[in-house]
Amino acid sequence: MKSYRKELWFNTSKRREMIHITPDIQECVRESGVKEGFVLVNAMHITASVFINDNEPGLHADYERWLEKLAPEKPYDQYDHNGAEDNADAHLKRTVMGREVVVAITEGKLDFGPWEAIFYGEFDGMRRKRILVKIIGE
């Protein structure tokens, strides 16, 4: 069995962004040489997320509005966590969106359903953060 590990780094220009990373993950699959197996992609920071959904800008705008209703960024003093930092909302948004995804690899490609794509969700950005890509298989 083969094993592959890589870290991908991001530095967003805004506090919150959703970045389509499917091409990056498919490149990792190619680099790994795995034809049949699994890839785990997980955010290595507690204010970021990795998730699967449609690559459609309207949906991403909907996520932004919905998440802001669930866990509004301001006022900062509404959260006990905020003190030295102002990112309590980012922790909550990450909890809703999830930490990681696992995708099957079949014939050397990500084995998706219709319209599925992988995204990095950043909720407390404008600094360097990373995701882990771990691939195992034959």
What is the value of pTM for the model shown? 0.96
Tens digit of pLDDT for each residue in 23-48? 999 999 999 999 999 999 999 999 99
**Could you list the residue range(s) of the whole structural domain that residue 91 is in?**
2-137
Find the CATH number of the domain harbouring 119: 2.60.120.460
Q: What gap in Å lies between CA 135 and CA 40, rounded to an integer?
A: 6
Residue 58: what are its φ and ψ, rounded to 5°?
-65, -40
Q: Using CA atoms, how far apart are residues 21 and 7, in angstroms rounded to an integer?
A: 13
**Which of these, 69, 89, 94, 66, lies nearest to 79 by C-alpha position?**
89
CA-nearest of 79, 3, 74, 77 to 34 is: 3
Using 50, 70 and 90 to split pLDDT, how confident is the model at 84?
Answer: confident
Count of structural domains within the chain: 1
